Structure 1
Amino acid sequence: MAAETGPTGLRERKKAQTRTALASAAMRLALERGVENVTADAIAEAADVSPRTFRNYFSGKEEAIVAELVDGMGYIADGLRARPADEPLWESLRHALTFSAFLPPEQLEQLAVKVRMVMASKALLGSQLAIFERLGEQLTAVVAERTGTDASSDLYPRLTGVVAANALRLAVFMWLESDGRLDLAELTADALAQLRAGLPEPDTSTTRRHQP
């Protein structure tokens, strides 16, 4: 505990605060001005730090703009890690990835605005993919912990982490395409349920479940 309250802990907190300030400024400016009209220097100025400090945290404006979303993925992995150890893994994944069910409507709308902006920008395509790649990596680590497997040599934790992350990615895309007519948490839960069941072929004799 002493390390958390000493100089090292203070430095780490200040670094985290600076990164958060830069990420917040980058996202805000991108929403206000458009991605193409944002510069690294403008982000640094908005966060009240030097351009050199900006470069200590991010390789460019694209990385900074999506940082808020990338960092948010960590909360999902933390949610999975916090689930009961004796709970079935796919049930734990469902609880962690349907985080949107617990967000206030205004916060969910803010998330939609941010993700839609990122998706619409060709300049952010690579950074957009990094959001869910990061989540896949984090989920892989937690799945390996829970199952006692080695992510460096066992396929299961990597496959599960990547598949779960991309299930969320697809659910987000469908949610945004529906302009809110579909529920993000329900889409995510349905995607995970189908994966858990082995992706059985749909029954085409009945009405499709997620029609706009």
Structure 2
Amino acid sequence: MAPTDEDHAPGTPSTPSQQGLRERKKRETRVALSQAAIRLCVLHGWANVTVDQIAAEANVSVRTFRNYFAGKAEAIAASHLERMLRVGDDLLARPAGEPLWDALLHAVLNQFAPPGSSSPQNERWAEGVRLMLAEPALAGEIVKANATAQQELATAIARRTGTDPERDVYPKLVAAVVGAANGVAVEHSLRPGAAQPLGAVLAQVFDQVAAGLPAP
């Protein structure tokens, strides 16, 4: 079950370590619910999946699901936001002397195409993802997740480059480009009959962006 705000004795202040553990468990529960929603909707179709089924798949109660998400669209979009948050974390952990676009590519690959995922997508799974992403009910939540993800990534880029995320346009622009590049790569890799895995497409996309998008 998901952790609650009452997992320590009433009136007893939480220590920083307890607070950190609780937040980590909450984040893990969010991810588990989001991944369960994606898995079920891809395999069975958007209209055939209920919140009850998602909660059961994640081994939590429906009440716990409602504590985290208003519905399955928000749950699905949460995975994208979580992945982009980890991209920002990975970026900040990269060697300081590494060129920015190299560091961004490695950070993105670590989250979107980790080692061991080099084989092309199963066609049935890819078709399920395409149908899920085309669902109108999901569009608004994806837009909101993208906006938050872009803001958080811009903050990480600003720290990496010594710029100001509020006053300087550079970190916001780079974050927007990364978001667009990821979207193009994912869409391209999900095409029917696509021969290249997502990691290879991401590498091509980031190489072209880093080169200034020269004309073919």
Q: Does TM, normalized by the shorter one, top 0.5?
A: yes
Q: Which runs of 5+ in 2 are unaligned?
A: 1-14
Q: 1:104 aligns with which of 96, 117, 121?
A: 117
Alignment correspondent of 1:160: 174
Alignment correspondent of 1:85: 96
Larger helix proportion, structure 1 or 2?
1
Q: CA deviation at 1:181?
A: 1.0
Q: 1:23 aligns with which of 24, 34, 43?
A: 34
1:24-39 alignment to 2 at 5 Å?
Answer: 24-39=35-50
Contact kept, 8 Å, 2:127 with 2:190, in 1: the verdict is no
Distance 1:43 1:101 in 2: 25
- Structure 1 residues 186, 33: closer, same or farther in 2, change over 3 A? closer
- Structure 1 residues 134, 112: closer, same or farther in 2, change over 3 A? farther
> Bigger shift: 41-50 or 57-66?
41-50
Q: State the one-letter code of the partner of 2:202.
A: T
Contact kept, 8 Å, 2:120 with 2:197, in 1: the verdict is no
Q: State the one-letter code of the partner of 1:177.
A: R
- Structure 1 residues 195, 107: closer, same or farther in 2, change over 3 A? closer
Q: CA deviation at 1:71?
A: 1.8
Distance 2:135 2:82 in 1: 19
The alignment's TM-score, normalised by the length of structure 2, stands at 0.76
Larger RCO (CA within 8 A; separation ≥ 6):
2
Q: Which runs of 5+ in 1 are unaligned?
A: 203-212
- Structure 1 residues 58, 90: closer, same or farther in 2, change over 3 A? same
- Structure 1 residues 14, 101: closer, same or farther in 2, change over 3 A? closer
Contact kept, 8 Å, 2:119 with 2:197, in 1: the verdict is no
Distance 1:92 1:37 in 2: 40
The alignment's TM-score, normalised by the length of structure 1, stands at 0.77
How much identity, in percent, do the aligned residues show?
Answer: 42
How many correspondences in the alignment?
199
> Bigger shift: 79-88 or 8-17?
8-17
> Bigger shift: 129-138 or 190-199?
129-138
